[in-house]
Amino acid sequence: MAAVLGCEDAVPAGVLTIQTAGEALNFHPHLHGALADGVFYPDGKFQRFAVIDQGALIAEFRDRVLSSLSDKQLLDDADIAQILSQKHSGFDVWLGDPFQDAESEKFVARYIHLRQGYGGTGRTGSCRTR
């Protein structure tokens, strides 16, 4: 992911949660998250992105998910080809404007509720909001 963002030695920061239902309460697995608009370097420096290539992020996310499912033998090459042949493959990344106020932060935070006592497996570090 760092290569897509143009920062090989930096670490992106964010919180992602898995959602399993859509608006109609149908089975619709997807992720919600809040991500920093930059990266952290090992020395603690934070650098904002000049531009975020949405298409590259979508491709990276799609390729990683399909590769993982293939590695676990949950999809074969024919399944992957069928998914990729669809006009709307189900892989997308929505990028909103950076938060400018506490109300916006609260609005988005309601989608990324974490169960108390849950511990993630990724790198941890400090985070800040504007």
Q: How would DSSP label each residue in 31-52?
A: EEEEEEEEEE-TTS-EEE-S--
Using one digit for the tens of pLDDT, what is the confidence trace for 61-109? 899 999 999 999 999 999 999 999 988 878 888 787 777 888 887 877 7
- Asked, for residue 114, whether it belongs to a domain, the answer is no
- Asked, for residue 16, whether it belongs to a domain, the answer is yes
- Asked, for residue 124, whether it belongs to a domain, the answer is no
If one counts the domains in the chain, the total is 1
pLDDT above 50: residue 118: no
Residue type at 34?
A
- Asked, for residue 27, whether it belongs to a domain, the answer is yes
Mean pLDDT of the chain: 77
Structural domain that includes position 16? 2-109
Number of helices and strands (H, E) in the chain? 4, 3
Spatial strand order in the sheet of 27-40: 11-21, 27-40, 46-48
pLDDT of residue 127: 38
pLDDT above 70: residue 122: no
- Asked, for residue 91, whether it belongs to a domain, the answer is yes
pLDDT of residue 18: 79
Q: Which residues pair with 16 in a beta bridge?
A: 33
pLDDT above 60: residue 43: yes
- Asked, for residue 50, whether it belongs to a domain, the answer is yes
pLDDT of residue 1: 54
Q: What's the longest Cα–Cα distance across the chain?
A: 47
List alpha helices for the chain, DSSP H: 2-5, 54-71, 77-85, 102-109
Residue type at 38?
G
